[in-house]
Amino acid sequence: MDSIRYDWRRLEEVAAELFEKVGVSDQHAQTVAQSLVHADLRGIESHGLSRLPIYLSRIEAGVLSLREAPEIVMQDGAAALVDGKNQLGAVIGQTALELAMSLARQTGIGFVGVRHSNHFGSCSFYAEKAMEKGMILLVLSNAPESMAPTGGIRPFFGTNPIAIGIPAGQEAPFLLDMATSVVARGKIALAAKKGEQIPEDWAIDPDGNPTTDPQRALLGSLMPIGGAKGYGLAMFIDILCGLLTGAASGPAVQSLYDNWTHPQNIGHVFLTIDIQRFWPLPVFQSRMDEYIREIKAVPKRAGIEEIMIPGEIERRKMNEQREKGVRLSLAIAEELEQICIKYGVDWNKAKICS
């Protein structure tokens, strides 16, 4: 057994308690806890509670500014700019999302740029919330350097993610949440640990050549999806999240892990579309259902049981894990248990005894 199941609500409670122990306010602690557990529920371990230890360490090291509140520095029509003031990323993200939804209610569209932010969890957390309100959300974020521009051999861009949520009716909604790199750096680190080779299109070595050796890849750069196309998408996201907002861009975005002196100064963009400006929501939702069914009816390749909609696998996982418990790997569970012992929080209450 290399994983244990936990009750997702209890996990949220435990995580929130831990954040409160290091001085995060009640409400903010809940937001960050929900953001992390949401990723675990969807099976995205890389953005789940595995990040809790580094979040806590950074707070304790004083690299974040818990006492500041995100501030709206510009609001005009459908556009706004939020200065996150180096608060917790999920708290800033939540503020920006709410503002973007409020703008969309007023003008049909909300466009909120964010600067001075931190790692804000998985984008799908925000997409889910927007979809619940009948809105389409597009979220962009820049991230610390890991990808070279096409022709270059040193990391410059982050794996700059793009996420889009579009509500459906009875079918699973459309929820695309993707990095602009072929894979995350973590997958290469895992291959290195296991002594396995990696596919040729994942990364380049420090000389800029494709490599199947994960050790060489870790010294080099991640590859963007679709070659120069992914380079273009990552750069677009960096310009909007970094240059347009006034956040850091390129290699100036600080690492979550290797830097204990400077704020990350990450930038995000939240774009909301109020569907009801175009159609009554139920009309749009049933068109989405019909459309999704058309896609699922496309003839399948041998061995494929069902054509899945972006986000559908994760949604099924979430439903299953809400019911049966969230699986955490033993390594993460043990790390969290140690942290709970340190702060006097009861870890075992989240465990599901089977």
Interacting residues with a second copy between 157 and 216 (CB under 8 A): 164, 166, 174, 176, 178, 182, 204, 207-209
Nearest Cα to 273, choosing from 107, 121, 89? Answer: 107
DSSP letter string over 224-281? BTTTHHHHHHHHHHHIIIIIITT---GGGSPPSSS-SSS---EEEEEEEEEGGGTS-H
Residue 22 vs 239, nearer CB to a second copy? 239
| Residue 27 neighbours by CB distance under 10 Å | 10
Residues 313-352 that bind a second copy (CB under 8 A): none
Q: Which of 236, 327, 337, 351 binds a second copy (CB under 8 A)?
A: 236
Q: How many residues bind a second copy (CB under 8 A)?
A: 74
| 107 is a site residue for a second copy (CB under 8 A) | yes
Contact range with a second copy by CB under 8 A, out of 33-41, 57-65, 245-253, 329-337: 245-253
Q: Does 250 bind a second copy (CB under 8 A)?
A: yes
The span from the CA of 81 to the CA of 113, in Å, is: 5
Instruction: Specify the residue, 19 or 111, whose C-beta has the smaller distance to a second copy.
Output: 111
User: Which amino acid type is present at position 77?
Assistant: G
197 three-state secondary structure: coil
> How is residue 58 written in tokens?
């950074």
- State in angstroms the smallest separation of the CB of 279 from a second copy: 8
For residues 163 and 140, what is the distance between their CA atoms, to the nearest angstrom? 7
Report the C-alpha gap between 28 and 90 in whole angstroms: 8
The residue range among 52-60, 63-71, 91-99, 304-312 that interacts with a second copy, by the rule CB under 8 A, is 304-312
In this complex, which beta carbon is closest to a second copy, that of residue 22 or of residue 178?
A: 178
Residues 6+ apart with CB under 8 A from 263: 63, 64, 65, 86, 116, 118, 254
Beta carbon of residue 143, minimum distance to a second copy (angstroms, whole number): 16
We find the least distance from the C-beta atom of residue 164 to a second copy, in angstroms, to be 5
Q: Is 288 in the site for a second copy (CB under 8 A)?
A: yes
> Any contact of residue 109 with a second copy (CB under 8 A)?
yes
The answer to whether residues 166 and 131 touch, using CB atoms and an 8 Å cutoff, is yes
Inter-residue contact 108 to 277 (CB < 8 Å): yes
Site string for a second copy, 117-136 (x = CB under 8 A): -------------------x
Instruction: Report in angstroms how near the CB of residue 327 gets to a second copy at its nearest.
Output: 22
Of 43, 307, 317, 351, the residue at the interface with a second copy (CB under 8 A) is 307
Containing 174, the helix (H) or strand (E) segment is strand 174-178
Tokens 């994760």 locate to 314
For residues 1-60, which are near a second copy according to CB under 8 A?
Answer: none
Residue type, 342: K
Indicate whether 291 belongs to the interface with a second copy (CB under 8 A): yes
Q: Which is nearer to a second copy, 24 or 163 (CB)?
A: 163
Structure tokens at 1: 């057994």
Cβ nearer to a second copy, comparing 62 with 77: 77
